Copies of this chain bind each other. A is one copy, B any other.
Amino acid sequence: MYSPITIDALRTLDAIDRRRSFAAAAEELYRVPSAISYTISKLEEDLGVELFDRSRRKAELTAVGRLILEQGRQILVATEELTALAKQTDEGWETELRICIDSLINCEPVYDLIEQFQKLQPRTELRLTEEVLGGSWDALNSEQCDLVIGAEGDPPSQGFGIHLLGQVEFVFAVSASHPLTDMQQPISLQAIQDYPTVVVTDSSRYLPVRSTGLLDGRSRIAVSSIEHKIAAQIRGLGVGYLPKFRIKKELEEGTLKQLMLAETRSPRSISIAWRNTSKGKGVQWFVSQLRQMVFDQDSGLQRPK
């Protein structure tokens, strides 16, 4: 036995310091003063170091005593955290829960849920990541995350739990001053070819990459999220489809204009998804909360009235 330090001794030391005396510490720990004396002398002897100034009959720590007290408190906290974590894990709550939010989704309602969850289960560590298009299915499949909010389309393989949130309608939008606004609608695909397209790059790495429905061969501007795509199109850097609910304000204000195309794009369904093997209460909790939400054409993800 290399280290003679004992959780019990650390707890005793802590009580003595907080209560300012051996006698008071004894009372707090439901022991008799001599038992406290014994615990401390034992630690001192095993350690070969004086923890209290024995010159006067007072509970006064030496420098080393203070060191052990202060560092020891950290150890006490760690063990208490550990027991709590163990009990929680045993009850089925995850130690860590990784949620992946698709770039498409409006985050606010999810943040509300997270806040609620943290009040309920402060010891489950939440990790949030953002993925784009197929990236979220991929993250789920490769166990990089436990829950996806806003996965687009159908699962690429078996073994997933899934709940449909709704449909996302995409509109072809360009900046107010864009040359295409002067053309007669519906606009031919041919005409679009002349302008660069803004595409959100797929962050998927393991599963087959999905096409965004836009034709290849044209000049492209690659961005990493819907926010960037919206910004790029407002500035007129390029054109492309955008989820209608995310650009409602821009369409009203006229910073973006919706154009009718010769070929319309069909709405995509979006869902929440999780691995069937996820039995943790955290995932279950989020799933049950999110089941009560819908994805609305006008206002995005929200709890229906």
Interface on A for B, CB 8 Å cutoff?
1-8, 11, 47-50, 63-64, 67-68, 71-72, 74-76, 78-80, 82-83, 85-87, 89-90, 95
Contacts and interface: CB of A to CB of B under 8 A. Distances in A.
13 contacts: A1-B11, A2-B83, A3-B7, A3-B80, A3-B82, A3-B83, A6-B8, A47-B83, A47-B87, A48-B87, A68-B82, A72-B82, A75-B75
Contact of A78 (B11, B63, B74, B95): B74
Which residue among A2, A3, A48, A49 has the maximum number of chain B CB atoms within 10 Å of its CB?
A3
A239 to B, nearest CB: 50
B83 A4 contact: yes
Nearest to A5: B79
A83 B7 contact: no
Given A5-B79, A79-B3, A80-B2, A68 B86 contact: yes
A78 B74 CA distance: 9
A237 B201 CA distance: 49
A108 B48 CA distance: 39
Nearest to A11: B1
In the complex, the 6 A-B pairs of residues with the closest C-beta atoms, listed nearest first: A3-B83, A49-B90, A5-B79, A3-B80, A3-B79, A71-B82
